[in-house]
Amino acid sequence: MNETGTGEIREEKSKAPDTINPGIGLKPEKSPKRIEKRTKRGSHMSKNDKKEPYPVINTLECKACGRCLQACPKGVLSMSEDLNSRGYHYVEYKGEGCSGCASCYYTCPEPLAIEIHIPLKEEESR
């Protein structure tokens, strides 16, 4: 039923634009060029003393499905004996040997459980 209560169906034209122009209405400091400069590969990562890639496991999000253990070609992940606060065992990184392939990340069904950190090379960090 429509607003008049007569049961008529009216087709109304959408007021939304047919196309969206990216960048219109953005303040100069948020223009796409400046955004691109801030999002270069690795710009969000802090410098640390690690020279090799490594996984960071969010133990609270891990549900112990074991998919990452099977996917890791280097075998650098293991299941913890401990339980997280939700009652699940969780995956741990053995501390070295990660190649940064991100197979564990891509097979994990929990979107926040695994991150792969790839440190900046010396020439990239300057």
Higher-scoring residue by pLDDT: 8, 125? 8
Q: What is the CATH number of the domain that holds 74?
A: 3.30.70.20
| pLDDT score of 112 | 93
| pLDDT score of 76 | 97
| pLDDT score of 6 | 66
The fraction of the chain above a pLDDT of 90, given in percent, is: 53
Distance of alpha carbon 33 from alpha carbon 36, whole angstroms: 5
Assess whether pLDDT exceeds 50 at residue 8: yes
Of residues 50, 94, 87, 43, the one with CA closest to residue 72: 94
Higher-scoring residue by pLDDT: 24, 67? 67
User: Looking at the domain assignment, is residue 30 inside a domain?
Assistant: no
Q: What is the dihedral of CA 61, 65, 67, 68, to 10 degrees?
A: 40
**How confident is the model over 19-49, as pLDDT tens digits?**
444 444 445 554 444 444 433 444 334 444 6
Residues 125 and 118 sit within 8 Å (Cβ to Cβ): no
Least confident of 15-19, 30-34, 63-67, 82-86: 30-34
Distance of alpha carbon 125 from alpha carbon 120, whole angstroms: 6
Mean residue pLDDT across the chain: 75
Give the position of tokens 């069904």: 109
User: Looking at the domain assignment, is residue 41 inside a domain?
Assistant: no
User: Looking at the domain assignment, is residue 68 inside a domain?
Assistant: yes
- Domain residues for 124? 58-126
The amino acid present at 87, given as its one-letter code, is: G
**How many separate domains does the chain show?**
1
The angle subtended at Cα 33 by Cα 30 and Cα 25, nearest 5°, is 40
| pLDDT score of 51 | 85
Kindly indicate the confidence band of residue 10, based on its pLDDT and cuts at 50, 70 and 90: low
